[in-house]
Amino acid sequence: MSPPIIKSVHLVGDFNKALYLDREFLAFRPNIVFIEPTGRVVFEINEMGLKGEPRDPSRKLAVVWGDSVAFGVGQGWPVLLNDFAPGWQFLNGGIEGDRYDNILRRANRCNRRYAVDLNLLMLGWHPFQRIPRRFTRRPANRHLREHLTAFLEENPNTILLTMPTALNRQIIKRDLSGLFRGGHHETAFYFYGDRYSVPIQREVFAYITERNAIAREVCAHLKIPVVDLFEEFSTEPLDDFRRDFFDVVHPRISLYPRIAEAVYRGIKELLTDARAA
């Protein structure tokens, strides 16, 4: 009989990134549970160092990799994929604030250590490097093509998810500061970071669209499937671009079921083929 797994339990009120992030390895510490005072589990990090329940070896394994957009609020949206594909276990490999180079490194390490059947890769929006006092997209995406190509060649069992955003081409040149508002998660809307200006807003949008374009080009060349969440959740047709996002890059919890549904539509044939094989 295997020895019992000892977990560290914390109240969600004590939620702190330092509790679960191993700064040396830039990865989650395993076997941590965050609970409410009632005892309800808000989320846990399992023995693999991934957000989600303990590994179920009777199911095929899929991992959603990314930054805070994948990590989400509470259990996040990746866990909802389990409802669509009972023969699969979807775990969450998102880490808040993670850069794309570390996302790829963590995914590579996990795939070498465990039998991962499918990677769902979201590159995130964090720059590979920051330019002091100015958000500049070119250095951030300069080596993305070669890094992503190397990862996909080593891990062809991957599907790429593009990055969605509340920004769109119709509003990108407008001063949106008058539309920011406080409140709870489903009503508040912020920009990103502490500074706002129309030039920074334009840079953020150009950076995200550039990163998505590079990712699509690499995947087309390597014949890697893409689930285009950028297009799926474009805010251009909406009367209020804030409807589904609480800032320019993070979706509201109310959008999580639709994200999971969109991702499942994009991968369901692959899941069926893998199950048949």
pLDDT in tens, 93-107: 999 999 999 999 999
All domains of the chain in start order, with CATH: 60-276 (3.40.50.1110)
Residue with tokens 């992030």: 21
Q: pTM for this structure?
A: 0.92
- For residue 273, name the pLDDT band (cuts at 50, 70, 90): low
Q: pLDDT tier at 130 (50, 70, 90 boundaries)?
A: very low
Average pLDDT rounded to a whole number, residues 231-242:
98
Which tens digits make up the pLDDT trace of 137-146? 556 788 999 9
Residue with more model confidence, 244 or 40? 244
Mean pLDDT across 56-68 = 97
DSSP summary character for residue 31: S
Higher pLDDT, 41 or 228: 228
Is the confidence at residue 259, as pLDDT, over 70? yes
For 164-223, what is each residue's pLDDT tens digit?
999 999 999 999 999 999 998 899 999 987 789 999 899 899 999 999 999 999 999 999
Q: Write down the pLDDT at residue 7.
A: 78
φ, ψ (nearest 5 deg) of residue 236: -60, -40
pLDDT given at position 103: 97
What separation in angstroms does the CA of 20 have from each of 28, 31, 76, 174? 6, 9, 16, 39
Token pair 């919890």 in the structure block, residue: 253
Mean pLDDT of the chain: 90
* Whole-angstrom distance, CA of residue 128 vs CA of residue 192: 17
User: How high is the pLDDT of residue 4?
Assistant: 62
pLDDT tens digits for 33-47?
Answer: 988 888 888 889 999
* pLDDT recorded at residue 132: 45
Those residues whose C-beta lies under 8 Å from the C-beta of residue 84, and which sit 6 or more positions away, are 260, 261, 264, 268
251 band by pLDDT with thresholds 50, 70 and 90: very high
Q: Which residues pair with 105 in a beta bridge?
A: none
What CA–CA distance (Å, rounded) separates 163 from 169?
Answer: 15
Interatomic CA distance for residues 157 and 140, integer angstroms:
26
Asked if residue 129 has pLDDT above 60, the reply is no
Report residue 116's pLDDT band, with 50, 70 and 90 as the boundaries.
very high
Q: Under 8 Å CB-to-CB from 125, ≥6 apart: which residues? A: 67, 69, 163, 165, 204, 207, 208, 211, 249
Q: 162-196 burial, b if ≥16 CB within 10 A, otherwise e?
A: bbbbbbeeebeeeebeeeeeeeeeeeebbbbeeee
User: What is the 3 state secondary structure string of 182-204?
Assistant: CCCCCCCECCCCCCCCHHHHHHH
